[in-house]
Amino acid sequence: MSSDVLSKLTRRPEPVARPLDDSGPGWDVGLLVAVFSLIGVGLVMLYSASAVMASQRMADHHVLLGGQVKNTIIGVFALLVALQIDYRWYKRLVYPILGGCFLFLALVLIPEVGTMQHGARRWLSIGPVGFQPAELAKLTAVIFLAYSVSKKGKQMGSFTIGFLPHLFIIGAMVGLLMLQPDFGTAVMLISMMLLLLFVSGAKLSYLFLVSIGGSLAGYAAISGSEYRMQRILAFLDPWSHRQDIGYQISESLIAIGSAGLSGRGLGEGAGKLGYVPELWNDFIGTIIAEELGIAGIVVVVSLFLVILWRGFRIAFQSETSFGMYLAFGLTSLIALQAMANLFVVTGMLPTKGLTLPFVSHGGTSMIVGLFSIGILLNISKNEPDYWEMKKAERESTKERKRWEKKRQRILKRRDDLQP
């Protein structure tokens, strides 16, 4: 046996694993700037919208502003925690996360645990801590869908494998939300499911059938509820119901229409004097338009478009299909909710009770929203997959051992053949 042949047979393979590298491009600064710009606008406009009401009802015009600042601080801490957690952990813990979400959605329906506000049981109180499980349900739904569609891959075209399981899980979430009731969040979850299933390769015929079925179910839910029917009537003709069910939306339209291009000026809006209810919450877009004018709304919309752009960019640059779908889902969820909220305050959609992300008053919404941004930033770091690295290292070690055994056999055979 020639020495060249022997050297080729006994050569050790090159290791297939590459070392972990922390010198990546880093997280997306543009996304972070856009989010904190929205938070800044929200704090200013929240104080402008709530100072008069808080002074009259609570004798302290800083109450809602102080609460929102605390929520923002907690949210920033949540963002920093999410930034340090490898997003692939959510894939490994998807079923415990899903189980916890269903538990919270069920607990909120228990009278001794869930808190009733404005005719709906949406708050869960555990000791001094209160939060909305519906906000957790949005994040959980995106994590589950991203995990499931990335795992199924080419099987997404199948009805039983790629479509029915998602419809069952998200449908169960929607059912629990409707018992609260929370029609707006239920619509958001269904919309998000259809969007993610569409981009992951589900058949259009399945999506069309579910859209038709969802529309019929929505019609039944609206027609069977007096307050939902009132919202539809107020949406269709707010001016005929200006003194009752159409009061909020008609006053919102008056405030926006009187603002012009530059608005009345910061702090000069009349809507906060009691004309527009929930001005610091669902209708904060109204006071932004009234005091800052069309220019203010354009700035807010532009910031959301930056989030949409940076989020989709993170999705397309992700090294894993799970990261891609997770980034796409989180970004789309923020964009859909922002669009729905602004459409409501301008009379383009019926009132749904959805906040404007990072701007409206709301603790759970702010904290979960910033945690979601932390996940996006973690995906944007594009770090190597730790578990895949370890798997590659194990396979490389096994391969080297196999080659070493083969080399020893060849060397032994050569020694036996020598005289």
pLDDT at 226: 74
Residue 412 lies in a domain: no
pLDDT at 286: 86
Report the number of distinct structural domains present in the chain: 1
Residue 20 lies in a domain: no
pLDDT at 389: 62
Residue 9 lies in a domain: no
Of 341, 364, 340, 343, the closest CA to residue 134 belongs to 364
- How many other β-carbons are positioned within 10 Å of the β-carbon of residue 67? 16
pLDDT at 82: 94
Kindly report the length of the chain. Answer: 419
pLDDT average per 10 residues of sequence, the chain (419 residues): 44 40 64 95 89 71 86 95 92 94 91 75 75 92 95 85 90 92 89 92 87 83 75 74 75 80 79 73 86 91 96 91 94 94 86 87 91 94 63 73 74 65
Residue 4 lies in a domain: no
Residue 418 lies in a domain: no
pLDDT at 387: 54
- Cβ atoms of 122 and 293 closer than 8 Å: no
pLDDT at 383: 62
Residue labelled with tokens 């909710």: 337
Query: pTM score, two decimals?
Result: 0.83
pLDDT at 218: 79
pLDDT at 14: 42
Residue 331 lies in a domain: yes
Of 157, 155, 169, the closest CA to residue 198 belongs to 157
pLDDT at 1: 46
Residue 245 lies in a domain: yes
Q: What is the distance between the alpha carbons of residues 229 and 223, in angstroms, rounded to a whole number? A: 6
- How many other β-carbons are positioned within 10 Å of the β-carbon of residue 284? 27
Residue 265's domain spans which residues?
Answer: 26-403
Residue 408 lies in a domain: no
